[in-house]
Chains A and B, each alone.
Chain A
Amino acid sequence: MTAVNLDQELGLIVAPGSPSVAADQSLSLIVEQRLVPAIIYNYIDQQLALLVVKRIVDLVQLVGGSYQSFLGNPLANGYLLMSLTNPVEIYTLGSDVIEGNDIRFKITLDSNGNVSQTPAQYVFSTSSLTPACTYTVQAYAADGTTASAPQIVTVPNTSVAYDVSQWIPTNPAF
Chain B
Amino acid sequence: MATDQTITGTFVDPQGNPLANGYLVLRLSHDGQSGAPNQVVAGLTQRITLNSSGTISPAVAIYSNSGLLPANTFYLVRVYAADGTEVVPLSQITIPNTPTPVNLATLTWSSAS
Query: What distance in Å separates the Cβ of B50 from its nearest Cβ neighbour in chain A?
Result: 16
Interface size on A, residues (CB 8 A): 29
CA distance in complex: A71, B46 (Å)? 8
User: B41: which A residues are within 8 A, CB to CB?
Assistant: 67-69, 75, 139, 147-148
In the bound complex, what is the Cα–Cα distance between A168 and B38 (angstroms)? 10
Contacts of A168 in B (CB 8 A): 33, 69-70
Which B17-53 residues have a C-beta within 8 angstroms of A?
26-33, 36-44, 46
List, in ascending order, chain B residues with CB within 8 A of A172's CB: 30
Which stretch (A99-107, A116-124, A159-167) binds chain B? A159-167
Cβ of B61 < 8 Å from any Cβ of A? yes
**Docked CA distance A165–B68 (Å):** 13
Chain B min CB distance to A91 (Å): 31
Q: Is the CB–CB distance between B43 and A148 below 8 Å?
A: yes
Residue pair B29, A139 in contact (C-beta under 8 Å): no
Also in contact, A174 and B31, with CB within 8 A (given A70-B62, A71-B3, A71-B61) = yes
Q: Is A48 an interface residue (CB 8 A)?
A: no
Interface size class, chain B: 20 to 34
B39 touches A146 (CB 8 A): no
State how many angstroms separate the Cβ of A16 from the closest Cβ of chain B: 59
A8: interface (CB < 8 Å) = no
A interface secondary structure, majority = loop
A116-174 contacts to B (CB < 8 Å): 139, 141, 145-149, 151, 164-174
Residues in chain A within 8 A of chain B (CB atoms): 65-72, 75, 113, 139, 141, 145-149, 151, 164-174
| Residues of chain B having any CB pair with chain A under 8 Å | 2-3, 26-33, 36-44, 46, 60-63, 69-70, 75
- 20 more CB-based (< 8 A) A-B contacts, given A70-B26, A71-B63, A169-B30: A65-B39, A69-B41, A70-B3, A70-B28, A71-B46, A71-B60, A71-B62, A72-B2, A72-B3, A72-B62, A148-B41, A149-B31, A165-B33, A165-B38, A165-B39, A169-B70, A171-B31, A173-B30, A173-B42, A174-B42
Q: List 28 A-B contacts (CB under 8 A).
A: A65-B39, A66-B37, A66-B39, A67-B39, A68-B39, A70-B3, A70-B42, A70-B62, A70-B63, A72-B61, A75-B41, A113-B39, A139-B31, A141-B44, A145-B44, A146-B43, A148-B42, A149-B43, A151-B31, A165-B33, A165-B36, A166-B37, A169-B32, A171-B30, A172-B30, A173-B42, A174-B30, A174-B31
